[in-house]
Chain A
Amino acid sequence: MRILVVEDDPMLLDGLSVGLGLAGFTVDAVQTCEDASSALAAQDYDAVVLDLMLPDGSGLDVLAALRRRKDATPVVLLTARDQVADRITGLDAGADDYVGKPFDLDELAARVRAAARRGLGRADTVLEWRGVTLDPARQTASRDGRGVPLTRREFGVLRALMERPGTTVSRAVLEEMLYGWQEEVESNAVEVHIHHLRGKLGAGFIKTVRGLGYRLAEESP
């Protein structure tokens, strides 16, 4: 799940990148309104964590511009101004959630997950497909009740597919979801992850759609 974090404080930005990364997100981090706007224009994110007081303007402006473009990307506002009036302003400007500083990292991660889930139009917190269960909050997967150990990337690929059952997801999209800007993507990285997943969940769980990408198999092999 790829998210954009907009925060001007370097220490907090570092904490958010690392902390949300540990929580299973692929994090792109920017420090200004301008950079946030260009990132949002260039890339689809599952959610945005947006600070309000930025050096070149207010996060609310970024949010307003986003909503003007009919972009429904879930936005969690992050700010030290957490008076009720500020929260109301933020939510009415189109934010999906509002977290006051200082916050609990796990809570923030949960709120971002919830916002992203609602963004995909899902109510279930746990994904299920043919005996395989995926819990994004705990970052655990199980098959027929037995836990299956997955790496962070494998989990990301599986989640991307399970969030869109029956849909073919291209390799490029999977790469975008898995890797942030600074990360080097090896040319066959996605194939390797798919290969490992098949090994752990059964060879027929993920189908290859030649020339298009991957999707979950409909029936038992």
Chain B
Amino acid sequence: MSSIRTRLFAVLVASTGLVWLLATLWIYVDTEAELERVLDARLTEAARMVRSLLAEGRVELALGGDAAAAAVAPAPAGDRPYDRQLSCQIWSLDGRLVGRSEDAPRDRLTDARSGFSETVIDGETWRVYTIEDAELGVRVMVGDNVRVRDRLVGGVITGLALPAGLIVPFLAAVIWFSLRRGMAPLNGMARMLSSRAASDLRPLPDENLPREIAPAVHALNGLFRRVEAAREREKSFTAFAAHELKTPLAGLKTQAQIALASGDGAVHANALRQISAGVDRVSRLVAQLLDLAAIEAGDRAPALTRAPVRPLVARVVAEMPPARDRAIVLAGAEDAAGPVARFEPALLTLALRNLIENAVNHAPEGGTVVVRVEAEAGRARIVVEDDGPGIPPAELPHVTERFFRGRGKSATGSGLGLSIAQEAMDQTGGALSLANRAAGGLAATLTLARQEEER
């Protein structure tokens, strides 16, 4: 059953019905016991009354006479169904029937000498109370026909069951209606969600929400917000990527058209040189876009390994492609035991490679890029220094923004390198800081998570 309303309805109706049934049963049992007691008390009282009448001599006892003649005992006044419920017999102690009430059976009502007893006479069960009076020499028996008693109990139960039978459908209707009212907010939400387009990520209204569905609505709105933000990011990323790719493509096309159109050897050669460099640039841009996409799509909490930093740095430096006539130098002794830190090797490699590329692109011809591994206050730091122009202070806060390319940009830059380094460091739990060096050029510092820090 997939409808909450149907399920709730079934459960509520079934449990209400069950409660009614149990209540009826209980009342039945209780009523029967109570009735038994009341009727028994009546028997006792009637028997005592007869005895006292006999004792006071108000009733003549034909101890020697014919029992059939003696019609005594007051029949309780009552309405028709309960007419003549009680039957009375008076027996002498020696076993003769000395008197009986009208309609009382002729057979002895009980063999018990005194107290309550049950007897079957002519297929009818009788409940009988007997009092023995030794002074008078009689035994007074007052009996009830059990069938009459059962009819009494039956009447009570019918009185209960009938309204129950009528009330349960009424209750079902009330429950159904209440459920509809109660589920209205849920239904409203479902209607709203099913009627909106898949691209509609506006938050659901969250005022006056029932407490029960508020968490669901808030969670949903949170999800909407995150999806929307991710979509926005993706959209701006795509727009920027398209922009950044289109410009070099426009350059390539222009240069190609020049190469085709120009008969001048120098112009022709320059155009081809530009095309070659342009293709390199676009390739690098594409590679960086893929790197960035990979970082974004990657595990939000990558597994950090605890390892010495220097070997990784040495490997990255060694693997850098030849940088025209700029030198890349790893400072410090080859076998120096460097600091240990926690990091994700692939992300750190990516960050470091982009920083070194950036430094190489901005270093002047014949310049040097120096990479140093330092330990300070338990933290490992990797510093990449170039002797280029540095970054104007006004642009420093913006250079890690995607596709930002300042005035001092290099011909091959894409505006993505520092942004990649920043994102990679964010994910590996480190930090990137940029500062202009006093001696000129830029110092980019990667600070890694503290080595003792456990995550």
Which residues of A are interface residues toward B (Cβ below 8 A)?
8-12, 14-16, 18-19, 22, 32, 53, 55-56, 80-81, 100-106
Contact = CB atoms under 8 A, between A and B. Distances in A.
Nearest to B264: A22
Q: How large is the interface on B (under 10, 10 to 19, 20 to 34, 35 or more residues)?
A: 20 to 34
Interface in B166-222: none
Contact of B246 (A11, A16, A101): A101
Contacts of B405: 8, 55
A15 B251 contact: yes
B253 interface: yes
B271 A15 contact: yes
A117 B271 CA distance: 29
CB-CB nearest 10 A-B residue pairs: A15-B254, A12-B251, A80-B246, A11-B251, A102-B250, A101-B250, A80-B243, A101-B246, A105-B257, A102-B249
Contacts of B271: 15, 18
B257 A80 contact: no
Given A101-B247, A101-B250, A102-B250, A32 B407 contact: yes
B358 interface: no
A18 B247 contact: no
Given A16-B254, A18-B270, A55-B406, A11 B277 contact: yes
20 contacts: A11-B251, A11-B252, A11-B278, A11-B281, A12-B247, A12-B251, A12-B254, A15-B250, A18-B258, A18-B271, A55-B407, A56-B407, A80-B250, A100-B246, A101-B247, A101-B249, A102-B250, A104-B253, A105-B257, A105-B258
A12 B248 contact: yes
Given A15-B274, A18-B270, A103 B250 contact: yes
Nearest to A14: B274
A213 to B, nearest CB: 32
Given A9-B247, A80-B243, A101-B246, A22 B261 contact: yes
B267 A18 contact: yes
Contacts, number: 83
B243 A53 contact: yes
B258 A81 contact: no
Contacts of B257: 19, 104-106
A93 B159 CA distance: 90
B297 interface: no
B247 A105 contact: no
Interface string B411-450: 1000000000000000000000000000000000000000
A8 to B, nearest CB: 7
Contacts of A100: 246
B87 interface: no
A172 B50 CA distance: 154
A182 to B, nearest CB: 15
B336 interface: no
A11 B274 CA distance: 6
A80 B242 contact: yes
Contacts of A81: 239, 243
Given A80-B250, A102-B253, A106-B257, 9 more contacts: A11-B248, A11-B252, A15-B250, A15-B274, A18-B258, A19-B258, A55-B406, A102-B249, A105-B254
A80 B249 CA distance: 10
B255 interface: yes
B306 interface: no
Given A14-B274, A80-B246, A22 B253 contact: no
B255 A15 contact: yes
A102 B255 contact: no
Contacts of A106: 257
Contacts of B243: 53, 80-81
A98 B168 CA distance: 78
A104 B249 CA distance: 11
A183 to B, nearest CB: 15
B255 A14 contact: yes
A103 B411 contact: no
B15 interface: no
Contacts of B254: 12, 15-16, 19, 102-103, 105
A103 B253 contact: yes
Interface in B118-153: none
A7 to B, nearest CB: 8
B379 interface: no
A80 B261 CA distance: 24
A100 B262 CA distance: 24
Nearest to B257: A105
A217 B243 CA distance: 51
A15 B253 CA distance: 9
B402 interface: no
A22 to B, nearest CB: 6
A22 B267 CA distance: 10
Contacts of B253: 102-105
Nearest to B267: A18
A12 B248 CA distance: 7
Contacts of B278: 11
B392 to A, nearest CB: 10
